[in-house]
Structure 1
Amino acid sequence: MTAVTPHLSRLDEAFEHVGDQGQRNTCLPISVTVAHQIVRGEGREFSAEALWQHAYAAGRTAPGGTNMGAMAAALRDQGQPFDADWPYDGEASDPQAPPVALSTPPWMTAEIKGRPTEQWGVISALLADQPVVVVMNLSQEFMTPHGDTVLDPPKDAPSLGFHAVVVVQAGHDGSRYWVLLRNSWGPRWGHEGSAWVSVDHLAARMCSADVVVVAAAPAPSAT
């Protein structure tokens, strides 16, 4: 285990179960889903399958996955039901029709905002209780964490592709800051599905960072 001292509580502490995307390239809809259910604050899991199938129907998926623009449209226009009503299937084929008994969209909707532009912006978002969906350029070090820590990759480490995770906590080890990543590869990756990476690692490998924003309920009209 690393000697990182966490700042505040994990933003995802209400969701102990870490999903496994299986053989499907669905890391982005899963990560957006985790961020959405955290900021909603209802303590219930949402359907990542709904986001993926909406993007698929719109022709915005590919063998390599999808993109944040497709996720933003799906979350804004269709939203998400609860996962219990349309559960994720790691072995499903596309397209997957929604369950017959499911209500029609729109479900719970939100907006995606591309706010943090560098590693310190990610930490600022965390301190404001906003989980951050980060797309990273992976190295071999990410594939094989040491306990709950992903080692810093060499500057010339080759790319193994792109992958989305959720940043859910910040910490410090006495010399530099770290962030905790919640992955979608099941509990065997890192420590029960999550691992710390240094801000240097994040800065070198982060391609994009976005937050999910839920519109506030309208204020009651004056009488």
Structure 2
Amino acid sequence: MTAVTPHLNRIDEAFEPVGDQGRRNTCLPISVTVAHQIVRAEGHALSAEALWQHAYAAGRTAPGGTNMDAMAAAVRDQGQPLDAEWPYDGEASDPQPPPATLSASPWMTAEIEGRPAEQWSVISALLADQPVVVVIDLSQEFLTPHGEMVLDPPKGAPSLGLHAVVAVQTGHDGSRYWVLLRNSWGPHWGQEGRAWVSVDHLAARMCSADVVTVAATAPSAT
């Protein structure tokens, strides 16, 4: 396969390494959290656990996960403390009450803005240094990247379910554009938890694209 030449730097470089969601269906709160951290550019790791538990308390989670409307309400209306205050646990059961030492709100809040679910919308946002939360219809090829690249699924490849990731960089291989996706399956997926997918892959399998914009800064811990 032809190597991808990146455009600009990865916009998630301040947050290493890629974490593992474990056995919980929390890819969406994790992805929204990563995007929120990037756009704040403050170097703080925020609490994905808080987002999930906000949605759980509102009755907006299910065994299959949650949805973007629930995440938008949680991050806008309640916000996120630091991950150090309310850390994520990949083996946890629900509900998880907040730690007794958790500082009082207000926490860090944001807005989520929907974008057209098409590949050029994602690339345009990335070129403007905006991470994009992408929900993708999984195929077998996505589960097992070929090195740092995900092969294009054949037309009509069966769905293995929906999954949220964060688009963090664009690139080109001399003939077409690619997008680097940051996953939540730990550092052993792809290359250190990230892999390139082609614009054709996105065009065929992307279900939604959303960006996070900062609404207010209210750091709750030093």
Deviation at 1:106, TM superposition (A): 2.9
Partners of 1:2 and 1:86 in 2: how far apart?
42
Residue correspondence of structure 1 range 179-194 to structure 2 within 5 A: 179-194=179-194
Matched residue, 1:41? 41
**C-alpha distance after superposition, 1:189-209 (max 9, x if no partner):** 001100000000011000000
1:122 aligns to 2:96 (yes or no): no
**How far apart are the structure 1 equivalents of 2:183 and 2:215?**
26
Aligned to 1:68: 68
Deviation at 1:2, TM superposition (A): 5.3
Q: Secondary structure at 2:215's aligned position in 1?
A: coil
Q: Is the Cα contact below 8 Å between 2:168 and 2:179 reproduced in 1?
A: yes
Taking a change above 3 Å as real, the CA distance of residues 35 and 210 of structure 1, as seen in their structure-2 partners, is same
CA distance in 1, matches of 2:209, 2:143: 20
1:115 CA displacement: 1.9
SS in 2 for 1:70: helix
Shift in alpha-carbon separation, 1:216–1:71, aligned structure 2, 3 A: closer
Equivalent residue number for residue 82 of structure 1: 82
Q: Which residue pairs with 1:95 in the alignment?
A: 95
Distance across 2 between alignment mates of 1:87 and 1:196: 29
1:104 CA drift (Å): 2.2
2:56 matches 1:56: yes
Cα distance, 1:216 vs structure 2: 6.9
Consecutive unaligned residues of structure 1, counting only runs of 5 or more, are: 218-223
1:156 aligns with 2:183: no
- Cα deviations by residue, 1:103-138 (Å, 9 ceiling, x for unpaired): 222300000000243100100000111000000000
Unaligned runs of 5+ in 2: 218-222
Deviations 1:155-186 (A, max 9, x none): 11000000000000000000000000000000
Q: Give yes or no for contact 1:152–1:198 (8 Å, CA) kept in 2.
A: yes
**Deviation at 1:8?**
0.3
Matched to 2:40, the amino acid is R
Displacement of 1:44 after TM fit?
A: 1.6
Alpha-carbon deviation of 1:43? 1.0
Structure 2 CA distance, aligned partners of 1:96 and 1:51? 11
Matching residue of 1:173: 173
Structure 1 match to 2:27: 27
- One-letter code of the match for 2:71? M
- Is the Cα–Cα contact under 8 Å of residues 2 and 148 in structure 1 kept in the other structure? no
Verify the 8 A CA contact 1:23 1:90 in the aligned structure 2. Answer: yes
C-alpha contact 1:77 1:106 (8 A) present in aligned 2? no
Cα RMSD after superposing both structures: 1.2
Tell me, yes or no, if the aligned pair for 1:11 and 1:38 is still in contact at 8 Å.
yes
| Identity fraction in percent | 84
User: Aligned to 2:210, what secondary structure does the other structure show?
Assistant: strand
Deviation of 1:101 after TM superposition, in Å, equals 1.2
Structure 2 CA distance, aligned partners of 1:43 and 1:202?
A: 29
**Structure 1 residue ranges, 4+ long, deviating more than 2 angstroms after superposition:** none
Structure 1 residue 57, shift from structure 2 partner = 0.2
Q: Say how many residue pairs are matched.
A: 217
